[in-house]
Every structure is written in structure tokens, then in C-alpha cells.
Chain A
Amino acid sequence: MCFNSLFFLFFFMLINFFFLVYFIMNGLSVFFEWENVTFNSMSIVMSILLDWMSLLFMMFVSLISSVVIFYSKSYMNSELNLNRFIILVLMFVFSMVLLIISPNLISILLGWDGLGLISYCLVIYYQNLKSYNAGMLTALSNRIGDVMILMVICWVMNYGSWNYIFYFDFMKNDYVMFIISFMIIIAAMTKSAQIPFSSWLPAAMAAPTPVSALVHSSTLVTAGVYLLIRFNYLLIDMFFFKVLLFLSILTMFMSGISANYEFDLKKIIALSTLSQLGLMMSILSLGFPDIAFFHLLTHSMFKALLFMCAGVIIHMMNDIQDIRYMGGLSLYIPLTSLCLNISNLSLCGIPFLSGFYSKDLILEMVSFNSFNLMVFILFYLSTGLTVFYTFRLIMYVMINDFNLMMIYNLYDEDYIMLNSMFVLLFMSLLSGSFLSWFIFSYPYMIYLPFNLKLMVIYVSILGSILGFMVSNMSIYSLNKLLMSYNLSSFLCLMWFMPNLSTYGLSYIYLNFSQILFKNIDMGWSEIYSGKGIFNILKNYSVFYNVYQMNNFKIYLFSFILYFMILFIFFFI
């Protein structure tokens, strides 16, 4: 099953690539419409839009999913139900492709809902309590976005059809479009885990690592960004985009800080994904959808690679994900640590790797255009924090001493996992330059002062120095400095937002519902129906049972009663 799906998806990727090259060379864009039913003025059509953006995204999604399926053949080797897993992953890819190619809100809803539900099934794949809770959190957060899309469908019915791409030019200042844009932004925020919906992404790391590599780094979380890129032409002058800018910058900053206090390997990578999603959303809300798309694609490559390396390490450490027990792994797993290093450095934006092209372009555009000072500061601060937690991770995992046990045998000779990682390594080295030639037909002209141009380098150097200092293992080390309990628990538990959005929202209502349940469901409504009626009937039948006990007194009494009645009728 693994090999079949691998070959199918790889072949699909190649087809997309050829069509992409052809479409971009000739400036083509194809819109298929299949008319299902037409009756008088009502028609139900299914439409597919194939332009360079959808073909490019489909190519990347199919490449990553084929590599991840091949990887999971070895990673999930001990699973009894591997076929079930592969089928779930294939269904997920199908939903994502449906979302990508649809210019029609109904088929977007099908893809969007499919993504949410299948990601729930994938998160609860390991059936322990933690996965169940994480899956519930994922599903319910995504469900809010689904409800928003449903309401958008209702509102778009005002225009007569669900093909939203036709209405951007004509209905831009309409009140209905105002409401639609608000709901679309909320839906995208739930899917891409912006504040206040950001609690599900670190929790969803309870899923198996191939799921995290495919779903939580490259496809599911980028669906929200992709939706906003498609709707960008409509949303660009709206006030809500400024609110989105504010929230996405805060998300970027918050997740950057939380990743520095976190010790679970997959949670650190999840928080770095959250930070990059905040970056994508913020540059999108500043009015540059093509740069956001560029960063989406390069990020998906190196983040999937990073998750796969983390999977190899977790396998090797006997399922332990805590970086406090890892160290010195570069000596034992050189090839995996090569992939880990390159993806980490690409994440930091080190020159001429793939992340550099997109991240540097984003930061230069922020500097070049005159935005708010807070926007500027938070962008560069978050970039510095990215480098900080990346170097901290490299120090903990690769450079410091091994900390788990006295005797160990660490190796990464699993060729299936290594081969799948090398494909993504190749792409994460080259996709930056390759995409910058593809997507941008002319380069952005950016003029910056010398120090502002080098600001990224300054911030990266500062972040790397701090990352090095914090992970030094001395007796009185720097990481005790900011470890006062209140501050550290505030910062590492994501500013308590997961607690606020789970316990905070549900506690009052659950308490109230307990009172209602005990008093009404199990109280008064049992007395006036259910058990109460049963008791009445039972008591009556017990009472009347006396008359069936062959009691002689009853016969005598009925004899006397009969004579009294006779006497009354005939003599009175």
C-alpha cells in the first residue's frame, strides 16, 4: 500500500510540475466547469480552477505527502493497522487537493471540513488519553472555522452563485462583502492557529510524527493562509486585516518566546511552525500575498524535513521526546543531523538556503515600507527569537553531552527514512532560489540604508549568541536567570491561552450544566415523568394487588356492599 501510494503521488507531482511549467511559460489559467443540474434559472455546477498558484501548491503537497508516506512505511513499522493510517493520509491529501483547486465555496467547504475531520482521526491515532484530548481540541478549534465558512456560504447566496472569484471587482464596497470578509478571516485564523485559536497546534503533537510532518507543518495549517491569499484581492482595504496583522504579529512573538522555554522536541518545532505561520499571516495582511505564498512553500519543505529528523531521533531515543535527555547526537547520526542542521539553518534564514530567500524578502519589505514601529520591532524581535530557539535546540540535541543512560547504541541506518529525508533535503536547499525565479517575474526594488539591510544579520547573531549562552551546562547557568516560577510558567505555557480557551471557556458552563443535570434531568423531570409515574403505577398496583390475594374479608365486604346497594335501590 505504501509503495503504491508513493508512486501515485510522485507521478501526480511530476504531472503537476510539467503543467506548471507549461502554464507559467504561456501565462495560462484554466477554469473547468461541469454543469450537474440546470432547472430554469437554478444551476448546480462543479468548477475547478488550475492556475500557476494551485498547480505549484499541489506539486509541493504531493511531493511532501509521497515522501511522508514512504517515511511512515519504516516509522510506523510496528503498527498493526498501517493500511488504515495510509488510507487516512491519502484521504487527507485528497481533501487538500480539493481545497486547492476549488474556486467555489462549496468545494472549499468539502475540502476544509475534510481536512479538519481527517486531522482529528490522525491525531487520535494513538489511543491514549492525551491523544484523545488533543484530538478534541484540534477538532473543536477547526470546527469554529467550518461554521464560519458555512455562514459565508449563506451570505454569498446573496450574489447568486458560490464562485467567489467573480465578485471581487464588482462588490468590493458592499456591506455583504464586509461580513463575508470578517468570517473568512476568522476561519483562516482557526485553521492557521493564530491567537486566540493557537492552543491546538502544540497539543496536536500527540499525533504520530509523519502526521505532524505532513499535516501540522505543511498542509493543514497553510490552508488558512491559502484561503486568505485567494481572497486577498477582496480583503486588502478592510479594517479586519489590520486586526489580523496585530493578532498574527502577537502569535509570532508569543510562540517565539514559548519555544525558548519548551523542552519537548516536537512542541518546539510546533511552536516554530506557529511562529512562521504568524509571519505568513502578517506579511499577507500587510498586502503582499505572493511573498506569503513564497514563504508558505519554502517553509513547508524545511519544516517537514525538520519533523522527519525529529522522528528519527525520537525512534532512536526509545520514544522519549524530551531534549534534556538528548545530546551529542551529531556524532552518532551524522546524516540525520545533517538534515536537521540544514533545515534549522534554513528556518533561521541563513544566506542562500531556501528560507533565506523568503524570510529576507519579507523583512526587507517590512523595512522598506513605512509601517508602524511596533510592527517593525516585533518582526525583528521574532526573527531573533527564531534564531535563539533554533540554536538552543541545536545545542541541546547535537552538541552537549548525551544524557539518557550510561550505555547506548545510537544509529540511523534506516535507509527508507534517510532516503525520504534526502529528497526533502534537496528541495529545501534549492526550492528557495527555484521558486524565486518562478513566482516573481520581476524582482522587488528595495532600497535600504546599510545598517537596516544588515539588521537581520545583527539580530541573527544576537539570537545565536543568546541561544549558545542559555544552553551552557554550568552549575550556575544563565537559564536560571529567567526561571522564576511565575514568569517562566507564564511564558512557557503560551501565555496561559490554552488554559483560557479550554478551562476558561467551559468551566462555568460545565458547572452550570452539572447543576441543571442533577436538579432537572435527574431530579424534577424524573419525579414528573419517568421514575415518578413508574412509582405511582407501581404503588397503585401494589395497593390493588390486595384484592387478588383471596382475602375472605373482601368477599364478605363486597357481599354486604351488594346488599346495601340492593336495599338502597329497591326500598328507597
Chain B
Amino acid sequence: MSFAPELRSHSQKVCNFYKRAMRTLEAYHVARYVIRYHQVILRNELDKNKAVCDPKEHRRLLRVAENELFMSQHPIPVAKFARSVGIAGGVAYDRVQVIPDWVMDYWHPLEKAHYPEYFKRRECRKCEYIKKWNDGEIR
């Protein structure tokens, strides 16, 4: 969670940092073997400090690494899935808005009068739904 860093453990923060660093490498290099080469070098750098036990040293290393990542971030981050949100997200996120059903309850009666059969059926469905909910058939 980005809003409460004190609730995350050190290993969680390191894993998050590692993922972001990998994504930055994917942004800079394009060919797969080039990306793998630089990722192996990065992994080696992290593995050099694998056996450190001092929490103060942990925090110092993480701070230095985060600073280096910030200074070398790519101005145009890469996004693999266009419809996802977050690091993997891209241009097509949230393109199609689903209008909730309760909006139709707020239609003006004159507007509803254009589709009488539909709204009659809708009222029946609503009553059935409420009855089923009260009986515990649906949760």
C-alpha cells in the first residue's frame, strides 16, 4: 500500500522495488535478449546484498536504490496490457462505461411512457428480486 508504508514489511518493499526496476529496464530496451541481459545484471546487484542482516543497513540500501531508480526512470513507461490499470495498464483503460441500472429509475414519467411494456416488466422483476433477497435465495 502506498498510503501506509509502515504497514509493509521490508521484503515486500524490496519486491515492489524490484518489479518497478524490471519494468524500467523493459522501457529502456526493446529486444528480449537485451532486456534479459540487463535484468540478470540487476539481479546480480541485488543478490550481492542478499545476506545483510542489519535493518538499518536494509533501510539505507533501499533508500539508495529507490533514489537511483527515480533518477533513471523512463519518461514514457511501458504498458503491456492496454485495458488494465496500474503498471501494466495503458491507453484503453476504462474506455467503455457501464451505466448502472438504477439510473432508469430516475427517468421522467413522460420518458418512461415511451416504453410502457419494458418498465412494467422491470417493476415485476424488481419485486421478484426483492422477494428473492428477503427469502435468502440470492446474496
Selected contact of B31 from candidates A318, A403, A492, CB within 8 Å? A403
Q: Return chain B residues, CB-CB under 8 Å to A318.
A: 82
B61-120: which have CB < 8 Å to A? 71-73, 75-76, 78-83, 90-97
* A324 with B32: CB separation less than 8 A: no
In the complex, what residue of chain B is closest to A491 when comparing beta carbons? B75
CB neighbours of A403 from chain B (8 A): 30-32
Q: Are B82 and A319 in contact (CB under 8 A)?
A: yes
Knowing A324-B27, A473-B34, A474-B34, say if A130 contacts B91 (CB, 8 Å): yes
Q: Does B17 contact A (CB under 8 A)?
A: no
Stretch of A46-54, A92-100, A330-338, A481-489 contacting B (4+ beta carbons < 8 Å): A481-489
* A511 proximal to B (CB < 8 A): no
Check B28 against A483 for contact (C-beta < 8 Å): yes
Interface size, chain A (Cβ < 8 Å): 35
What are the nearest 8 A-B pairs in CB distance? A473-B31, A319-B82, A128-B94, A489-B75, A319-B92, A126-B95, A127-B97, A324-B30
Task: Identify B79's interface contact among A206, A322, A489, CB under 8 A.
Answer: A322
Chain B interfacial positions (CB closer than 8 Å to A): 26-32, 34, 37-38, 71-73, 75-76, 78-83, 90-97
Interface of B is mostly: loop
Whether B31 pairs with A400 at a CB distance below 8 angstroms is yes
Q: Are B34 and A321 touching (Cβ within 8 A)?
A: no
With a cutoff of 8 Å between Cβ atoms, the chain A residues found around residue B96 in the complex are: 126-127
Q: Roughly how many angstroms separate A321 CA and B93 CA in the complex, as a whole number?
A: 13
A240 at the interface (CB under 8 A from B): no
Query: Of A320, A324, A477, which is within 8 A of B82 by CB?
Result: A320
In the assembled complex, the Cα of A488 lies from the Cα of B27 at a distance in Å of: 13
Q: Which of B27, B72, B73, B95 contacts A128 (CB 8 A)?
A: B95
16 further A-B contacts with Cβ under 8 Å, apart from A320-B90, A400-B31, are: A131-B95, A262-B76, A264-B91, A320-B80, A320-B81, A320-B91, A321-B82, A322-B78, A322-B79, A324-B30, A400-B30, A474-B34, A477-B29, A485-B72, A488-B75, A492-B76
A325 within 8 A of B: yes
CA distance A403 to B34 in the complex (A): 12
Minimum distance in angstroms from B107 CB to a CB of chain A: 18
Minimal Cβ-Cβ distance residue in B for A320 = B82
Q: How far is the CB of A28 from chain B (nearest CB, A)?
A: 48
Closest B residue by C-beta to A323: B30
* Cα-based distance from A403 to B80 in the complex (angstroms): 10
CB of A396 within 8 Å of the partner chain: yes
Query: Shortest distance in angstroms between A322's beta carbon and chain B's nearest beta carbon?
Result: 6
Chain B residues, CB < 8 A from A128: 92-95
**Nearest CB in chain B to that of A319: its residue:** B82
- B24: shortest Cβ distance to chain A, in Å? 11
In the complex, chain B residues whose CB is within 8 Å of the CB of A263: 76, 78
Type the 1/0 row for A275-299, where 1 means its CB is closer than 8 Å to any CB of B. 0000000000000000000000000
Closest to A267 in B: B76
A542 at the interface (CB under 8 A from B): no
Report the Cα distance A325→B31, complex, angstroms.
9
* A227 CB–B CB distance under 8 Å: no
